[in-house]
């Protein structure tokens, strides 16, 4: 299978001098097209830093990150922005919406060009996504007028508006109750089945159990890997047990 993201010998250092800290220390990652990968680890283990590094949102101190065949560090800021806008989607723990736009406008925002693109068909596409994620009818609401779960669904709609090749999700269920979290994960699995790769960061074994493969990070390194594909798809409890066992094994 072809790699969509390839990270080689990634080093990320924060701070300078005596205060400096290695957040990522010679990390190697490969994500193939259509794969659903979860990154797990305790706070400060470098899992979010890895997500920012692989998505090109943060530059790395050394090593290389390729998106397909493109070396991200060689792109200029604008080219990098274009890649992010057209080929990647992002979901964060807190719903990152602009306060002064309503839900629909927030969703179509990444797709509105600088030219006079047809915003009507864009609106229809956004509404289709909203129907799919179960928040149709909320188009005109302000972001303060919907629940956290609804807002996170809208975040997924926004991430999907440009039909990205990969979705980066940083603790997407962290601010939600368990029922909403399950629903969101169901959506993500569905999206992955339709062909979109996903890189998900979480500290929750139940959430990570939805992935095909789990990477465990500790002190800036990937210390272990767990393949879940071979376990039967539907038995989530068994998968979760497996994840917890692996976590205990690597000591995180």
Options 8, 71, 113, 245; binder of other proteins; rule CB under 8 A? 113
Using alpha carbons only, give the angle 57, 58, 59 rounded to the nearest 5 degrees.
125
Within 38-97, which residues bind other proteins (CB under 8 A)? 48-49, 52, 57-58, 77-78, 81-86, 88, 90, 92-97
Residue nearer to other proteins on the CB measure, 98 or 238: 98
Per DSSP, the residues of 140-177 read: T-BGGGS-HHHHHHHHHHHHHTT--SEEEEESTTTTS-
The nearest distance, CB 45 to other proteins, in angstroms, is 16
Please answer whether residues 133 and 181 qualify as being in contact, where contact means their C-beta atoms are separated by less than 8 angstroms: no
Going by DSSP bridges, is the β-strand pair 197-202/36-40 parallel, antiparallel, or unpaired?
A: parallel
Residue matched to tokens 């065949």: 69
- Cβ–Cβ under 8 Å, residues 14 and 21: yes
Beta carbon of residue 248, minimum distance to other proteins (angstroms, whole number): 28
By CB under 8 A, residue 121 contacts other proteins:
no
Point out which span in 115-123, 191-199, 209-217, 229-237 binds other proteins (CB under 8 A).
115-123
Residues in the site for other proteins, rule: CB under 8 A? 48-49, 52, 57-58, 77-78, 81-86, 88, 90, 92-102, 104-105, 108-110, 112-116, 119, 122-123, 126, 139-140, 142, 144, 158
């Amino acid at each position: 299978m072809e790699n969509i993201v390839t990270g080689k010998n990634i080093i990320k250092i924060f701070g300078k001098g005596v205060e400096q800290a290695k957040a990522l220390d010679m990390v190697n990652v490969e994500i193939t097209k259509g794969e659903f990968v979860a990154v797990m680890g305790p706070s400060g283990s470098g899992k979010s830093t890895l997500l920012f590094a692989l998505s090109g949102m943060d530059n790395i101190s050394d090593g290389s990150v390729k998106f397909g065949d493109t070396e991200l560090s060689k792109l200029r800021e604008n080219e990098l922005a274009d890649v992010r806008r057209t080929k990647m989607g992002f979901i964060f723990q807190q719903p990152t919406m602009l306060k002064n736009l309503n839900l629909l406008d927030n969703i179509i925002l990444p797709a509105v060009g600088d030219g006079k693109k047809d915003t009507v068909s864009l609106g229809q596409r956004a509404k289709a996504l909203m129907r799919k994620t179960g928040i149709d009818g909320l188009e005109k609401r302000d972001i303060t007028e919907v629940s956290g779960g609804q807002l996170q669904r809208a975040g997924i709609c926004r991430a999907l508006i440009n039909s990205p090749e990969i979705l980066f999700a940083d603790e997407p269920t962290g601010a939600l109750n368990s029922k909403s979290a399950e629903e969101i994960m169901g959506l993500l699995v569905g999206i992955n089945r339709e062909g979109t790769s996903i890189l998900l960061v979480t500290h929750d074994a139940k959430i990570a159990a939805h992935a095909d493969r789990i990477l465990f990070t500790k002190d800036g390194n990937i210390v272990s890997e767990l393949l879940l594909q071979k376990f039967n798809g539907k038995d989530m409890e068994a998968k979760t047990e497996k994840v917890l066992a692996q976590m205990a094994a690597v000591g995180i």
